[in-house]
A and B are shown apart, each in its own frame.
Chain A
Amino acid sequence: MAKLLIVEDDDALREQLEIGLTASGYEVCFAATGTDAIPAFEKHQPDLVLLDLMLPGKNGIEICTELREFSGVPIIMLTARTDDSDMIRGLEAGADDYVTKPYKTEVLVSRIKARLRPIKAKATSHPIVNIGPVEMDTLSHEVRKGDQKISLTPLEFKLLLTLASHPNEVYTREMLLEQVWEYTYKADTRLVNVHVQRLRSKIEDDPENPKLVLTVRGWGYKAGPE
């Protein structure tokens, strides 16, 4: 049974989330303030974090940044979306996905499921996938660039693996949303843009002048020429 950490300051919402998510088969634990979030994470070691952005004490973006310093745990933001820039900043801080308030239970659950689903490479392919100097082990989920180990979040790993499995094939943002984020309906393509940027900052020599994950103007992205 997967364990979820819910960081949410509203008591009623927290209680209703507990009822709904428990009924959907998850184990839930809580943090009611921003300052409690990191200690609660360390105590419960959850499989996924649901993070409200507007919190007393420490806001969601700071928590996100701190969590990413030591953990690749899937993070789904719960945003009020009065301002898109909040959502973008959350994604830039390392959140994998977001759900806009007021959300439906089924939407939230489908997002959680997508993030908890194990990443599988195609059964026929070799366990090692190469993209330029970067080597991806699809079994141990280890990523190396030369001698250097690169730590990618599961989402970043899935994104890179999707692109690298078909080098030089162009993926539109919509295709990536469907295959990596598992959206079956339209979603914000900026999710893809922000995560491609994060991925580049980890694997590229010069993220401003990428060689491995290339932008195809007007279309989308593809894995580099090698």
Chain B
Amino acid sequence: MLFGRLVKAALGLFRSSLQIRALVYTLALAGSALILLGGVLSVSIGNGLFSTRTEHALEESQRAQNTIARVFRDVQVDSTWSINQAIKQVVPELESSGVTQTRTVVFLKSSNQPNASRLEDAQSENVDLNLIAKSFREDVHAKGGIQSQTVQVMRDGETVPAILTGQKITLPGGHDYQLYLIYDMANEQQTLGFVQRTLVVGGLVTLGIIGFFSFLVTSWLVRPVQEAAEASEIMASGDLSRRLPVRGTDVVAVLATSFNHMADSLQEKIKDLGDLSKMQQRFVSDVSHELRTPLTTMRLSADFLYTNRDSFADPSKRSVEILHDQMDRFDKLLADLLEISRYDAAGVKPEYEVHDLNGIVGTALASIQHFADSKGVYLDAHIPSGPVQCEVDVRRIDRILNNLLTNAIEHSEGNPVRIQVAQNQTAVAVSVMDNGIGMNQAELSQVFDRFWRADPSRKRTTGGTGLGLAISIEDALLHHGSLEVTAEPNLGACFRLTLPKRQDLTEFDSPLPLAVEKIKI
């Protein structure tokens, strides 16, 4: 478990840090190179040591013949006893005459000769005669000269490589003997071991040095990249005044320079856009004020005429009535247009307060009841008994509800409209469902578009502006909530408004389903 977590952490670090990745790659490559180099060195040093030792062994074996000749110089040829005496001397003579290390000596008589049973063999102590294979003995007997072979011997409980040489010796009196000398290579093995240890230690130290320097170099190279990354993050989070220091004329300096250029032009563009937006806001504000005063006068004039409409003849009277109604429509349209342009100019400042959603819905239902009655639509409200507290700008939520309810009543074809309120830990929701003609997929996708109408051929009864849902969705988004819709042709539509309970809650699920069904009372 812990190991797994460590691996995960290390992998994370590896992925997230450019510098660590560079360091790891450098160390891996340098390490491989060092291992290869060390291997080659170790093999060639080993070979060199071995071949030198073999050469020495052969030379010494050559000289052994002289030693034997010297030992047998004064021996009486016909006396088996004195020959045997001499044979006994051969082993200590040869053991001691080596230059470097002690040798092990085996002096064996060849089997196929007369008087063989009376002659003796001689050998150093603790020699394992099995080392000298039968085939090697036959080679030595048949080929003549000095034969050599690599064998393994035990030395102080450890196996070490050794060189075995064998040669045919003819003693005075014509006795055939075979001289075997075993040169162990414990010293060479030790030397090789030392060299290998030195190579490993040297390799590790070199790797450490390479790691240290590559860390220095990469951090020196990566730092400007890191600075650029930090600066771009700061810029992305809105601070456009951040710039990078430019040092020298290398590629990093080019990066910094072009980054700064980019930041400059971005800042300029955003300032331009900001100016444009301010200008637009100002324009909207000016236009609205300029429009409102004459509109007010017209409104008052129309009201006055309307109040006194009975004093007009019939066609004039009807005109006054039409004028009066259209003033209302014009009012609403202008108000909605101004509201949406305020959203476009990002000039909306919500005022949050904690409210009971049940209360807001109740008020909205009460104010729409008259309209529902006039359409013969039953409002089927399902409101939880406890308080449904949420942090909202109550005027905007009220506006959304009014919009959804008006739309539902208008499109319900006289069927009931169901209103549901619910809450969970993080969010509150209201859904408004009607059993009207519904909508198809193409219509659904346009329902929040400006000036879009569900059915252009339908008579406009309430004189909606066509901006209601477009404003509602802006209101919902302003609260960091959502306004969603689903519908089925000939079944009806369901709108669901979901709002976070507090404005600092960013993640939440709606406590109500988004689905259309047949309403049964």
Q: Which of B298, B303, B338 contacts A106 (CB 8 A)?
A: B303
B293 within 8 A of A: yes
A54 within 8 A of B: yes
Task: Report yes or no: A83 in contact with B292, Cβ–Cβ below 8 A.
Answer: no
- Report the separation of the CA atoms of residues A16 and B153 in the bound assembly, to the nearest whole angstrom: 129
Q: Which of B294, B296, B356, B363 contacts A103 (CB 8 A)?
A: B296
- Report the separation of the CA atoms of residues A199 and B426 in the bound assembly, to the nearest whole angstrom: 37
A62 within 8 A of B: no
B389 within 8 A of A: yes
Task: Report yes or no: B297 in contact with A13, Cβ–Cβ below 8 A.
Answer: yes
A189 within 8 A of B: yes
A80 within 8 A of B: yes
In terms of DSSP, what is the predominant structure of the interface of chain B?
A: helix
Please indicate the chain B residues that have their CB under 8 angstroms from the CB of A19 in the complex. 300, 304
B354 within 8 A of A: yes
- Report the separation of the CA atoms of residues A82 and B296 in the bound assembly, to the nearest whole angstrom: 14
Most buried by B among A20, A54, A82, A83: A82
Residues 14-50 of chain A, each 1 if its beta carbon lies under 8 Å from chain B, else 0: 0011011001000000000000000000000000000
Task: Report yes or no: A105 in contact with B293, Cβ–Cβ below 8 A.
Answer: no
Given contacts A23-B304, A83-B285, A218-B355, contact A186 B297 (CB under 8 A): no
Please indicate the chain A residues that have their CB under 8 angstroms from the CB of B303 in the complex. 20, 104-106
Task: Report yes or no: A13 in contact with B293, Cβ–Cβ below 8 A.
Answer: yes
Within 8 A of A (CB), among B281-318: 284-285, 288-289, 292-301, 303-304, 307
Nearest Cβ distance between residue B423 and chain A, in whole angstroms? Answer: 15
Nearest Cβ distance between residue B285 and chain A, in whole angstroms? Answer: 4
B21 within 8 A of A: no
A226 within 8 A of B: no
Within 8 A of A (CB), among B223-250: none
Please indicate the chain B residues that have their CB under 8 angstroms from the CB of A84 in the complex. 349
What is the number of residues of chain A that contact chain B, defined by CB distance less than 8 Å? Answer: 27
Residues 185-222 of chain A, each 1 if its beta carbon lies under 8 Å from chain B, else 0: 11011100000000000000000000000000110000
Please indicate the chain A residues that have their CB under 8 angstroms from the CB of B356 in the complex. 218
Residues 338-376 of chain B, each 1 if its beta carbon lies under 8 Å from chain A, else 0: 100000000001010111100000010001000000000
Please indicate the chain A residues that have their CB under 8 angstroms from the CB of B155 in the complex. none
Residues 129-148 of chain A, each 1 if its beta carbon lies under 8 Å from chain B, else 0: 00000000000000000000
Nearest Cβ distance between residue B471 and chain A, in whole angstroms? Answer: 16
B120 within 8 A of A: no
**What's the count of A-B pairs with C-beta under 8 Å?**
71
B413 within 8 A of A: no
Nearest Cβ distance between residue B367 and chain A, in whole angstroms? Answer: 7
- Report the separation of the CA atoms of residues A185 and B295 in the bound assembly, to the nearest whole angstrom: 23
B95 within 8 A of A: no
What is the number of residues of chain B that contact chain A, defined by CB distance less than 8 Å? Answer: 33
Give the residue name and chain of the A residue nearest to B298 (CB).
Answer: A102
Please indicate the chain B residues that have their CB under 8 angstroms from the CB of A13 in the complex. 293-294, 296-297, 300
Task: Report yes or no: A101 in contact with B284, Cβ–Cβ below 8 A.
Answer: no
Please indicate the chain B residues that have their CB under 8 angstroms from the CB of A101 in the complex. 292-293, 295-296
A10 within 8 A of B: yes
Please indicate the chain B residues that have their CB under 8 angstroms from the CB of A218 in the complex. 353-356, 389
Nearest Cβ distance between residue A63 and chain B, in whole angstroms? Answer: 18
A12 within 8 A of B: yes
Give the residue name and chain of the A residue nearest to B285 (CB).
Answer: A82
Nearest Cβ distance between residue B321 and chain A, in whole angstroms? Answer: 15
Please indicate the chain B residues that have their CB under 8 angstroms from the CB of A104 in the complex. 299-300, 303
Task: Report yes or no: A82 in contact with B338, Cβ–Cβ below 8 A.
Answer: yes
Within 8 A of B (CB), among A91-114: 101-106
Give the residue name and chain of the A residue nearest to B299 (CB).
Answer: A102
Given contacts A82-B288, A186-B398, contact A16 B300 (CB under 8 A): yes
- Report the separation of the CA atoms of residues A162 and B288 in the bound assembly, to the nearest whole angstrom: 38
Nearest Cβ distance between residue A165 and chain B, in whole angstroms? Answer: 24
- Report the separation of the CA atoms of residues A190 and B292 in the bound assembly, to the nearest whole angstrom: 23
Give the residue name and chain of the A residue nearest to B356 (CB).
Answer: A218
- Report the separation of the CA atoms of residues A63 and B288 in the bound assembly, to the nearest whole angstrom: 23
Nearest Cβ distance between residue B349 and chain A, in whole angstroms? Answer: 8
Q: Which of A54, A103, A189 contacts B394 (CB 8 A)?
A: A189
Task: List 24 interface pairs A-B (beta carbons < 8 Å), by A numbering.
Answer: A10-B293, A16-B300, A19-B304, A20-B303, A54-B289, A80-B288, A80-B289, A82-B289, A84-B349, A101-B296, A102-B292, A102-B295, A102-B298, A102-B299, A102-B331, A104-B300, A104-B303, A105-B299, A185-B367, A186-B367, A186-B398, A188-B395, A189-B394, A218-B354
B interface residues with partner A (beta carbon < 8 Å): 284-285, 288-289, 292-301, 303-304, 307, 327, 331, 334, 338, 349, 351, 353-356, 363, 367, 389, 394-395, 398
Q: Knowing that A105-B299, A105-B303 are A-B contacts, what are 12 other residue pairs whose CB atoms are under 8 Å apart, sorted by A's residue number?
A: A10-B293, A13-B294, A13-B296, A16-B300, A16-B301, A17-B300, A80-B292, A82-B338, A84-B349, A101-B292, A102-B296, A218-B353
